[in-house]
Chains A and B, each alone.
Chain A
Amino acid sequence: MHKIVTISVVAALALWLAVAPALAATPQAFVKNILDEVMAIQSNPAMEGPSHETVRAQAIRRVIQKNFDFPYMAQDSLGAAYDRLNPGQRQEFATVFSCLFQASYTNMVLRFLKREEIKYGNETVTGNKARVDTTLMRANDHIQVEYLLHQKGGNWVLYDVIVDGVSILDKYKTGFAREIQTGSFDSLLNKMKTQLKAVQ
């Protein structure tokens, strides 16, 4: 008996130690980790040039996959319309949204994040939410990028990125609301699926 408890505690401790860095990491550190990983992919000489774009895209996508809260984003982007969906629709929408977001964000990173210098600004934590301000700089130009995070399962995850004051999640909200108003949820989902097919 004593042996089982000891092993359990050790295992739990080991497990805790494995995830401890994530929880122990500050929001800014979390964001920095992600950006460092992405910059490493973008500047890796082995993955340089248009011929390796697909490899880079896949690597960047993996980083995005593990660091964004897609279910939350999917729900938030639909707003009140989400409540009117049945579980099957919700699941389907979340899956499509997740894939589409990953593809779009990967595209954005590939085009706009290359050899920029990243300056980290303020970090604001309010309850389980946080905001990390960064500045992307290149030559004499820069843009402000804010990352919005919240805690999920003890870890920080991203749920929105604001570029020069424009929120990506808000863009989704506005676009989806207009589409549902002029058409329907089904027409929205169909368009998302069509787009997904086109980018895959």
Chain B
Amino acid sequence: MTIDSLFNRACEALVAVLKRGAWWVILSSLILAALSVNYAYHHLTFRTSRSDLVASDQRLLLLGEKLSKDFGSRDDLVVVVENGHPRTKAFAEGLAQELRKYPREFPEIFYRLQPAAFKKWALLYLEPKQLQEIKDKLQDHQALLAGLAANPGLTGFYQGVNHELTGSMLGELFTGFLQEDRRQENIPDLSLLIASLQGLRGGLEGKAAYKSPLSGVFLKGMEDLDQEGYFFTENDKYLLFLVTPEKDGFSQASHSVQLLRDIVAQVQRQFPGVKAGVTGPMALEADEMGSATADIALATWLSLAGQMLLLIFFFRSLRRTLIEGLVLIVGLCWTFGVATLVVGHLNLLSVIFAPLMLGITIDLGVHWFCRLEEEQALQGKTNGNSLHCTMQRAAPAIVYAALAAAASFIPLSLTGFKGLAELGVILTIGVLLMLVATLTLLPSLVLVTERFIMVKTQGCRGTPKPFLHLRWRQPAVLVSGGLALAALGAVSLLHVHFDLNPLHLQNQKTESVVWEMKLMENSRYSTAFGAITTKNLEDLEAKSTALKALPTVSHVESILSFLPSQAKAKREQLSTLAPIFQKISFPAALVRPSNPRELAEVLGSIHFKLARALESDPSLVQVKEAAGLLSQVIPMLKSAGPRTVANLESYEKKFVQDLRDTWDFLRDGVQSPAPQISDLPAEVRDRFISPQGTYLLRVFSSEDIWDPAPLGKFVHDLQHVDPDVTGDPVLLYYFTQAFRNACLWAAGVGLLVIAFMLFGVFRSFKLTMLALIPLFVGTGWTLNLMWLLNIPFNQANVLFLPLILGEGIEFGIIILVRWQMEESAREITLPASTAKGVLLAALTTTLGFGSLMVSGHQGTFSLGLLATVGSLSVLLASLSVLPAFLRLVGKQAIAPRQPQRIIPVWRRVLLLLGGKEVTLDKSKS
């Protein structure tokens, strides 16, 4: 018994079954489809994380999971607010207030450290230079402060100011030449005077709001501590608001992202002009997945509709088109069901299986229908023998093509890359199921919808028409030209680069990508960071220092970031001020209110000097401002009535209290020891110290983390400091490398598997190579076009390589199997119906892949584009170079198809033992 005869018998039996039970086949197919869809609807889930694409036992993933377990997975969402608007901080407070209404959806928000908790250490958080300025100011005004302590109140204050001003002016006149850094003006800085006069004027006018004039001078850098503590990027361009949402799969993530965006929009309406957006790892993944699923759904329907239109055009039959459409839908439904059963979920890669599968498997029905058309033309439209001949002659090639396609996907499932493996499994299942549907449901539908007169099997007769009546007179030219262009593809390959930047794949218009790019471009900040853990503080300090020294590192966050730097040196710097605070102290309250006229006299002395200075140089801005204020305040004091006196007293009380508070604040700052980790708020400690006592370091890159070259440098630098570093950048780096390598490996192995399979089918090395011609030549031409059109490979379109295997080999199989099986085909090289089938198959595949180009997701788009170009290239090679090759090689060079014998086991043993081969060729009997 030969394989061919086995095929014939199987086809006869199948046709016989279908003749009797077509309706049963149809009914059971539809029921199975409905059950599959129902099962998938209730059980199929989506996994949106990139880590779901990688095998779960990978070391990096395990490290990442441990990190999440120890420190909690936090800050997956980031609200980025553009600074520069006067109400940026108020916006943050408003947003916090709104988010607190959703404790279940957003269990944790982190946007500010309350300054009150850090007040007594505020001085230690200043830069040494700022500290020195405060120290200088205190020492310069020591006499003023001492006088003020002896006579607290506005009169004493302005007497001190007057004394300082006079001393400064006289000093500049008589001894100014002694100073190294001699100032050009003989008037000192009048900020304190101006600020105090503004306050006094407001106080005399009865204005309730009091603004401390002292903090601007003595607490420079901490003027309004109540407004501090927010998280800004290093260049202060953006305020960052970190949100930890509830995590429970893709649907919940999508819901959280959308809810947060709605809340942000709602708060923005109260703060017109404030620009803000949501980004962060969860938003990027949800946007990518959401965009992909929406686009894929559209692509799938477009693919289906487009293919149907094409079929109507080619078959001139709506009925046959609808039949093919129904077969595709049923096959797709079966695939959803089985995929749910076997895999259980779709990931970022496998979510695109539907349009890919439609594009590949529609070919099976196309070839079947094209052959049916030819048989009906040769034997009569209603002759049932045409159905029998179609099954007998088309089925082998269709089966081999489907098996080859399935074989090309199997290596994907062996890559160890979970995302690809699941896609490979689903596509393999899908192709095989669609094969079953094509060989059972399709003929059944044709049987019940078309009229066939069933006769006894008569054999298949008739001569097919040649493709376009071509005589293939100069096959050598075509072959040389085609092969030369294909060989150029090897050169093109060297010029087609690999773009591993994942942000380039995403829809550039999604909110999360827009804001992530803004952060990267304008402030060198990314929401992704490397993560390192240490067991003790010494290790933490050492690694922190080592990381900060790296040029690829922008900044490092750890629990140490919340403690003042150089605390010891600053404490020593501040300790020199201690004697001043020991000598000077202020009473708790106003002892004696100032007399308005006395105060006016003192202010008059100041005005006298400033007026003289202004006469000499009218361009002195501060002098002009101070003199102007004095001109307003002095008359108010001189003509003060009871109300003004009361206002003065009220203002003076606040002033003395302010003086006391500022002094106490400074004294506490000077005397307080440096804060320890235990002094920090719990929300900070929880973030950076695990319950087990390990410490977390977050490391941020100084360059574009989405660009593979700087990403690689960054990751290697981090690994040099700690080989166990993890975090999104590390995962991303290894993920992109692994994915690319997996695709290349799968393509290579797939090619080998197919080659072996073809050898098993054809039993001829030459025929095997001929079958591979459309694939090699088409791929070469595709690479040329990629180079010409500057289309790079990326993480998405690299999938094209394993996918084009099935496509490319299918056309070669279809043409070659018929060429080998039928003498009539060899006479004309390429029968018209075969060419039509190949053409239609290629165009429907192109539509199937091309529909991906509706996607805003750039990765999906590029896959669609590349696959379209590839399909058309393979088509052209199949209809030109392969037939020319067949013509050139000639019938004699290729042995006719030998009967393939099935050798029983006992005979194989004899053969192995060297016995003479005994053949039983039942086909000759």
Binding site for B on A (CB under 8 A): 101, 104-105, 107-108, 111-112, 136, 138, 140-144, 163-166, 168, 171-172, 174-176, 178-179, 188, 191-192, 194-195, 198
Contacts and interface: CB of A to CB of B under 8 A. Distances in A.
Nearest to B604: A141
B612 A111 contact: yes
8 contacts: A104-B174, A111-B613, A140-B634, A140-B638, A163-B166, A166-B170, A176-B178, A179-B178
Instruction: Give the 7 A-B residue pairs with the shortest CB-CB distance, closest first.
Output: A175-B175, A141-B608, A195-B177, A141-B604, A164-B166, A166-B166, A166-B167
Contacts of A172: 174-175
Most buried by A among B608, B634, B635: B608
Given A143-B609, A175-B178, A168 B604 contact: no
Interface in B176-190: 177-178
Nearest to B600: A140
A136 B635 CA distance: 19
Contacts of B612: 111-112
A194 B615 CA distance: 28
A140 B170 contact: no
Given A140-B638, A166-B163, A171 B171 contact: yes
B639 to A, nearest CB: 11
A200 to B, nearest CB: 13
Interface in B574-612: 601, 604-605, 607-609, 611-612
Contact of A136 (B173, B177, B608, B615): B608
A171 B601 contact: no
A175 B171 contact: yes
B163 A168 contact: no
B608 A143 contact: yes
Interface string B148-176: 00000000000000110011001101110
A155 to B, nearest CB: 25
Nearest to B177: A195
A108 B174 CA distance: 9
Contacts of A194: 177
Most buried by A among B174, B607, B611: B174
Nearest to A137: B608
B177 A191 contact: yes
Contacts of B317: none
Contacts of B162: 164
Interface of A, secondary structure class, is: helix
A69 to B, nearest CB: 16
A197 B234 CA distance: 51
Given A138-B611, A141-B607, A142-B604, 11 more contacts: A107-B173, A111-B612, A112-B612, A142-B608, A171-B170, A174-B175, A175-B171, A175-B175, A175-B178, A188-B178, A195-B177
Nearest to A138: B608
Given A171-B175, A191-B177, A142 B167 contact: no
Nearest to A164: B166
B166 A178 contact: no
Nearest to A107: B173
Contacts, number: 72
A178 B163 contact: no
A175 B612 CA distance: 25
Contact of A101 (B174, B178, B605, B638): B174
B616 interface: yes
Nearest to B602: A164
A105 B601 CA distance: 25
A99 B609 CA distance: 25
Nearest to B175: A175
A188 B601 CA distance: 38
A10 to B, nearest CB: 46
Contact of B178 (A141, A142, A178): A178
A131 B601 CA distance: 22
B611 A192 contact: no
A97 to B, nearest CB: 11
A151 to B, nearest CB: 25
Contacts of A178: 178
Interface of B: 162-163, 166-167, 170-171, 173-175, 177-178, 601, 604-605, 607-609, 611-613, 615-616, 634-635, 638
A142 B174 contact: no
Contact of B173 (A104, A144, A179): A104
A169 to B, nearest CB: 9
B179 to A, nearest CB: 9
Contacts of B166: 163-166
A69 B170 CA distance: 19
Most buried by A among B173, B175, B609, B616: B175
Contacts of B177: 191-192, 194-195, 198
Contacts of B634: 140
Nearest to B167: A166
A165 B606 CA distance: 13
A136 B609 CA distance: 11
A174 B171 CA distance: 10
Most buried by B among A111, A141, A172, A178: A141
A165 B638 CA distance: 23
B187 to A, nearest CB: 12
A71 to B, nearest CB: 18
B601 A142 contact: yes
Most buried by B among A108, A111, A188, A195: A111
A164 B615 CA distance: 20
B163 to A, nearest CB: 6
B624 to A, nearest CB: 16
Contact of B174 (A111, A141, A168): A168
Nearest to A139: B611
A136 to B, nearest CB: 7
A162 B601 CA distance: 18
Nearest to B606: A141
A105 B175 CA distance: 12
Given A164-B166, A171-B170, A191 B604 contact: no
B600 to A, nearest CB: 8
Nearest to A163: B166
Contacts of A195: 177
Contacts of B178: 175-176, 178-179, 188, 191
Contacts of B167: 166, 171
A143 B612 CA distance: 12
A171 B167 CA distance: 8
A144 B605 contact: yes
Contacts of A174: 175
A165 B171 CA distance: 13
A104 B166 CA distance: 15
Contacts of B171: 171, 175
Most buried by B among A143, A194, A198: A143
Nearest to A199: B177
A163 B168 CA distance: 12
A188 B175 CA distance: 11
A194 B180 CA distance: 13
Contact of B170 (A138, A141, A163, A176): A163
B717 to A, nearest CB: 48
Contacts of B638: 140
Contacts of B604: 140-142
Contacts of A105: 174
Contacts of A144: 605
B158 to A, nearest CB: 12
A172 B170 CA distance: 10
Most buried by A among B607, B611, B612: B612
B667 to A, nearest CB: 28
Nearest to A136: B608
Given A111-B616, A141-B604, A143-B609, A164 B175 contact: no
B611 A171 contact: no
Contacts of B611: 138, 141
A164 B174 contact: no
A101 B175 CA distance: 10
Contacts of A176: 175, 178
Nearest to B616: A111
